[in-house]
Chain A
Amino acid sequence: MERIIFYILALIIVVFAVASVSSRKILRAVMYLLFVLIGISGIYFMIDYSFLGAIQLAVYGGGVIVLFIFSVLLVHHVELELEITPLRKKLIAGAVTLTGLGITLWAILTFPFQQAAGARTIEVSDIGKSLLSVDAGGFILPFEVISVLLFAVMIGAIVIAKGKKLNK
């Protein structure tokens, strides 16, 4: 059963990822990206890490996609179609991508991973405790750095987006 669900999710993710990078209508590309992100959050739920699945849904499905839609609506006409990429560029990019994919897949599939026995559900309380722990192996420092980063980004985004017109 879980096998079937995983394969359906994988199919959804790959198909919509390809659609998202090849669609010529930009708003549709954003919607396809939303489906990919929801599929990936499904993978997180299946791995029994539901906290990250919820974060993925909230931050990506609720925040990032809305930002994308806002920016698309601000800078484009909705019906506008993107330019067609030259075939030569597509072929070169496809060749480079396929080569990289082949090498990486070969390296992954031939590497003998030692799978640990026994599954584990990652609880929210474990994550919270390790994020705020000051003992060895605690994550209090990166947690603080991330919070300072988010604050700086908030101010920076406001300052940058305000900007002035260059050639009045």
Chain B
Amino acid sequence: MIEGISIYEILTLSTVVFFIGVYGFFTRENLITILMSIELILNASAVNFVVVNTYLYPDFLQGAVFSVFIIAMAAAETALAIAIIINLYKLVSSVEVKDTDTLKY
């Protein structure tokens, strides 16, 4: 835990980052920037896991371990999503949301 900083301040920070990510998710129209907003959301939730673990239950490790898992999942998700985006760019020559209206069949 951080000296002089209560759990409320860190949770406020992570909540603000989370909703900035949600705003970006709503307003962006490019697949890559939407993916960046998702990264913001995932990061904010990983901070929450660590903070709740260290401030409220310092004798346990669940939150600390699961934040490692969240980061691994986020990296995997990003790699797969970027592979899909590059493949999509080969198919329709665009990564805007409005152009991606065709499924395979």
Chain A residues near B (Cβ < 8 Å): 2-3, 6, 10, 13-14, 17-18, 20-22, 26, 29-30, 33, 36-37, 40, 43-44, 46-49, 52, 55-56, 59-60, 63-64, 67-68, 70-72, 74-76, 82-83, 85, 89-90, 92-94, 96-98, 100-101, 104-105, 108-109, 113-116, 118-120, 122, 126-127, 130-131, 139, 142, 146, 149-150, 153-154, 156-158, 160-163, 165-167
Known contacts A21-B23, A21-B27; is-contact A30 B10 (Cβ 8 Å): no
A3 lies within 8 A of B27 (CB)? no
- Docked Cα-Cα span, A30 to B30, in Å, equals 13
- Docked Cα-Cα span, A108 to B78, in Å, equals 30
B9: shortest Cβ distance to chain A, in Å? 7
Chain B, range 22-40, C-beta contacts under 8 Å to A = 22-24, 26-30, 32-33, 35-37, 39-40
Sorted from nearest, which 7 A-B pairs have the closest CB atoms? Answer: A21-B24, A93-B26, A163-B87, A161-B83, A157-B83, A120-B58, A153-B76
- Point out the residues of chain A lying under 8 angstroms from B1, CB to CB: 47-48, 119
Contact of A104 among B15, B29, B54, B95 (CB under 8 A): B15
B32 lies within 8 A of A21 (CB)? no
Q: What number of B residues sit within 8 Å (CB to CB) of A?
A: 71
- Docked Cα-Cα span, A119 to B20, in Å, equals 30
- Majority SS of interface residues in chain A? helix
> Which of A90, A116, A131 is most buried by chain B, counting CB atoms within 10 A of its CB?
A116
Contact of B2 among A2, A30, A153 (CB under 8 A): A2
A21 lies within 8 A of B40 (CB)? yes
- Docked Cα-Cα span, A116 to B2, in Å, equals 13
- Docked Cα-Cα span, A60 to B69, in Å, equals 14
Contact of A89 among B10, B11, B22, B27 (CB under 8 A): B27
A52 lies within 8 A of B68 (CB)? yes
